[in-house]
A = this chain, B = another copy of it.
Amino acid sequence: MPAVSPLAGEPIKRADADELAGVLKAFADPARLQLLSLIQSAPQGEASASDLIAPLNLSQPTVSHHLRILTEAGLIEREKRGVWTYYRLVPSAIAAIADLLTPPRKRTTKSAR
């Protein structure tokens, strides 16, 4: 994750923009937003893949595909316990993205219009 915010001070470099855009692309999909939302609202904040298939009305391979993208982007993490794999959010990664998108409050915008 780039340490540089696109919305605070210096313009960001292309390499940082590429990296941040990659993580944002993981977010920018309706099924993945629903998955994040389902995991977040699950008991204990964790869900197995099978918990996630029925509510979304998607096939198991499609859900697995989206879970893989979210895991690779660092937005969720998985843990194998016995035969089950459980997914939970990585709140720090999600908060970091939210912070990057928070523009600093301008001191005086001097809007004369």
User: How many copies of this kind of chain does the complex include?
Assistant: 2
Q: Residue of B at shortest CB range from A113?
A: B79
A28 & B25 in contact (Cβ 8 Å cutoff): yes
Q: Interface of chain A, helix or strand or loop or mixed? A: helix
Within 8 A of B (CB), among A1-45: 6-12, 14, 17-18, 20-21, 24-25, 27-34, 36-38, 40-41, 44-45
| 21 A-B pairs whose Cβ atoms sit less than 8 Å apart in the complex | A6-B36, A6-B37, A7-B37, A7-B89, A9-B41, A10-B41, A11-B37, A17-B31, A18-B30, A21-B28, A24-B24, A25-B25, A27-B28, A44-B109, A44-B110, A45-B106, A45-B109, A91-B105, A94-B102, A98-B98, A98-B99
A positions within 8 Å CB-CB of B: 6-12, 14, 17-18, 20-21, 24-25, 27-34, 36-38, 40-41, 44-45, 55, 79, 89, 91, 94-95, 97-99, 101-103, 105-106, 109-110, 113
